[in-house]
Amino acid sequence: MTAHTHSTAIELSEPAPAEVAAGSELMLKIKLTCAADCDLHNLPLTITSPDDTAPAVRHINDSGAVTLRIPPKVGPQSFTIAFGPHEADDIRHEPCALSLTINSIPHGTSLAVWDIPSPIVKGERFTIKVGAKSAANAELNGLEIAVFDNSDKVAARGRLRDTTWPGTSALYWDEVELTAPTEEGLRKWSVRFAAEGLALPHDGTAAGFSAMVARPPEHRLTVKVIERQSKQPIEDVQVRLGPFRGRPVPGRDRSDRHRRSDDAEGHVRSPRLEDSLRGAGPFDRDQGRSFDRG
């Protein structure tokens, strides 16, 4: 026979987040109180979640939170966190319960495209590398990526390889071969990753890249770089020549920019090549874009 009955109440002590990634765990801050101020925090709670056939028994931890496991599916997920009734030492604590709905959302993904050759020769095959990563570091090997051309047609497909890109834990990648368009100029592609078929729901993603399409080379150049004072050839110099036509810099003498001179050994030296070597190094892709074509 119970001597006393105490009413109880359960509530969130901090608001629950509106959205939580599917399949993750949420620490939910809970306040369980007794009308007569008994300490109830050691008593068990039962949590009913959408995926569980039987309610799980959990305790409030030292920081006042219980773990809520979000099912690995997308959409609103409803939970009930219930206490009691509980009887001990002639005191009966009445039951109480809290219901809440959490919106379960897909994990994000991201795409990277690299090793894009520039320029590419019109009509010829070229390769790019494409990598995809899950925000939850999920294994993405075997999933398909597709490259679309400017007119939104599939230009190539790839399948993410079994091993991640060296030095990364979750960047899955593939090398994709494409055929360059037959028109010259800057061309754009988009890479799309649907991220379908994973145990954890993921959102797909897309990324774009562009490359300059050029005519096949018309000349073969031999470049020799000579040290100015000693006139000695310099070894291991990186030289990059692009199909870009220089634009006169305003205020600068055009004849100087296009001046070429023969050095002592009769090799052609280009002021622009010297500029490039003196500066940040070989042309990079961004520099290339700053030159007008035509």
Residue 89's CB is within 10 A of a number of other CB atoms, namely 8
Q: How far is the CB of 60 from Zn ion (least distance, A)?
A: 16
Residue 180's CB is within 10 A of a number of other CB atoms, namely 20
Residue 37's CB is within 10 A of a number of other CB atoms, namely 8
| Residue 41 contacts Zn ion per CB under 5 A | no
CB closer to Zn ion out of 84 and 158: 84
Q: How far is the CB of 58 from Zn ion (least distance, A)?
A: 20
Q: How far is the CB of 37 from Zn ion (least distance, A)?
A: 7
Closest CA to 170 of 197, 207, 206, 195: 195
CA distances from 246 to 20, 120, 240, 249, 276 (A): 53, 19, 14, 9, 13
Gap between the Cα atoms of 73 and 107, Å rounded:
11
The values of phi and psi at residue 76, to 5°, are -65, 130
Residues 63-92 that bind Zn ion (CB under 5 A): none
| Residue 38 contacts Zn ion per CB under 5 A | yes
Of 34, 60, 68, 195, the one binding Zn ion by CB under 5 A = 34
- Sole window of 30-38, 110-118, 124-132, 170-178 interacting with Zn ion (rule: CB under 5 A): 30-38
| Residue 239 contacts Zn ion per CB under 5 A | no
| Amino acid sitting at position 239 | V
Of 6, 69, 122, 129, the one binding Zn ion by CB under 5 A = 6
Q: How far is the CB of 6 from Zn ion (least distance, A)?
A: 3
Of 12, 27, 36, 249, the one binding Zn ion by CB under 5 A = 36
What's the full length of the chain, in residues? Answer: 294
Q: Which residues of this protein are in contact with Zn ion, per CB under 5 A? A: 6, 34, 36, 38
